[in-house]
Structure 1
Amino acid sequence: MHSSAPATPPTARYRERLSPSLWALVSAAVCGPMVALVLAPLDSVVGLLAGIAVGALVVAGLIAMSPVIEISDGRLRVGRANIELGYLGEIETLTGDDARQARGPGLSPASWHLLRGGIDGVVRVAVEDEDDPVTHWVFSSRTPVRVAAVIRSARAAAGSPAPEASPSAKD
């Protein structure tokens, strides 16, 4: 039998859940009344209870399955993907028309992306790993400037050199 110190969960320097917008959650909750209407001819009480349960489960499921952005332990995690901060290069934060361009016509097929409708901000981070075919990570964030600041401070704390910002960086 071996003894080990209890594992403490790593503390996140930054964590953001990219949950659906309010209108999407309200739209999903409409499943509840539909189920209630379908089951009402059988038993109105059962239909009502099933409708409430289905509506709550659909909304809870959408929130629980939402991707998470996390910066901790020297890694950037976006959804199921992760990369060491040392492999990250220039960081751009985009909002408004610039974000729309980055999500649409400006989206490179060589980039990895996780984009959510209803979230205006976009973070674009260059990948400087020569063995990685991905050139950039492009992902949605409600607070892109904060994400960029946390990545920079985490890199500085880890001793990774920060790349020089180009004049085109938008943060």
Structure 2
Amino acid sequence: MEIYRERLSPTPWLFVATALLIPASLLVFLPISMVAGVIAAIVSYAAAVVILLATTPKLVVTSDELIAGRARLPRDVVGEVSAYRGAEATLQRGRLLDARAWLLIRGWIHPVVKVELRDDEDPTPYWLVSTRRPDELVAALARSSD
């Protein structure tokens, strides 16, 4: 049973920034041909948008596991779960980050949730995942472990 679902989709500003491919393509291909420039601009922007949308990961919490992108974590190894926002989230993604941690970080999503692992054989101490709704994710993980 699915308890929580979130899609870590890009922000609208990322699509606006990606639109800079349009003048770049025009700059390169307009000296060759006006038609080639317009076609190249449209195709390059459309390809960038498709790639951004196709590579958007999902966070799913079920009664059995946490799914973050393509990775799966059984609920019986989920330890302490904590949410971080603002400066604390920046510290978790930066200076306090353990190099062995498993990451699903998106630069346009600032809050993160830290999921500690209770598996002595796994060298990964915790998962750190970006989320727009950290409190809901923490609650869903707490609920799934009941």
- What is the aligned partner in structure 2 of residue 111 from structure 1? 101
For residue 47 of structure 2, the aligned residue among 51, 57, 65 is: 57
Structure with larger Rg: 1
- What is the aligned partner in structure 1 of residue 110 from structure 2? 120
| TM-score, with length taken from structure 2 | 0.88
Q: Number of aligned pairs?
A: 146
1:149 equivalenced with 2:142 (yes/no): no
- The answer to whether the Cα contact below 8 Å between 1:33 and 1:52 also exists between their aligned partners in 2 is no
Query: Taking every aligned residue pair, what percent have the same amino acid on both sides?
Result: 34
Structure 2 counterpart of 1:46, which letter?
A
- What is the aligned partner in structure 1 of residue 27 from structure 2? 37
- The answer to whether the Cα contact below 8 Å between 2:63 and 2:75 also exists between their aligned partners in 1 is no
Structure 1 counterpart of 2:27, which letter?
L
1:76 equivalenced with 2:71 (yes/no): no
Deviation of 1:125 (Å): 1.1
1:98 equivalenced with 2:83 (yes/no): no
More strand by share: 2
Deviation of 1:58 (Å): 0.5
1:46 equivalenced with 2:36 (yes/no): yes
- What is the aligned partner in structure 2 of residue 23 from structure 1? 13
Deviation of 1:102 (Å): 0.8
SS in 1 for 2:119: coil
Separation in 2 of the partners of 1:31 and 1:12? 39
Separation in 1 of the partners of 2:36 and 2:25? 10
Moved more, 43-52 or 78-87: 43-52
Deviation of 1:128 (Å): 0.5
Separation in 1 of the partners of 2:29 and 2:124? 50
Separation in 2 of the partners of 1:138 and 1:90? 12
Deviation of 1:50 (Å): 2.6
Structure 2 counterpart of 1:149, which letter?
A
Deviation of 1:73 (Å): 5.2
Separation in 1 of the partners of 2:26 and 2:99? 44
| TM-score, with length taken from structure 1 | 0.76
In the alignment, structure 2 segments of 5+ residues that lack a partner are none
For CA contacts below 8 A with separation 6 or more, give which structure has more relative contact order.
Answer: 2
